[in-house]
Amino acid sequence: MFGLSTSNIWAITQRLAGPSAAGKWTGLQNAFGNLAGAFGPWLSGILVERSGSYVPAFALVSIVMGLGAVSFLVLIPRVEPVDWASLSTSPSKPRYADP
């Protein structure tokens, strides 16, 4: 199951994006992933300063993680390996061959 660890995240991106789009997907993945690293501490600091407790910061993180898990389960269809060779548009091999 995807998402249970991060050691496979680059292999998944390259496998699903294919050779022509792997760099773009990786760039977007890095950009959105780094947003949390940039804004998370800032927002947590504001919540702790205003409330005097870490509870609101942890509650917000829990809600965001829960929404992420639910959206992953609802929005992402079944992930299957993509056979990029059969989708190739090279002139030497027809895209759709008759059986």
Question: Which percentage of the chain shows pLDDT scores above 90?
Answer: 28
The first and second tokens of residue 45, run together, are 């600091």
pLDDT value of residue 87: 67
pTM confidence score: 0.58
Summarize pLDDT for 54-66 with one digit per residue, the tens. Answer: 999 999 999 999 9
CA dist 19 and 34 (Å) reads 24
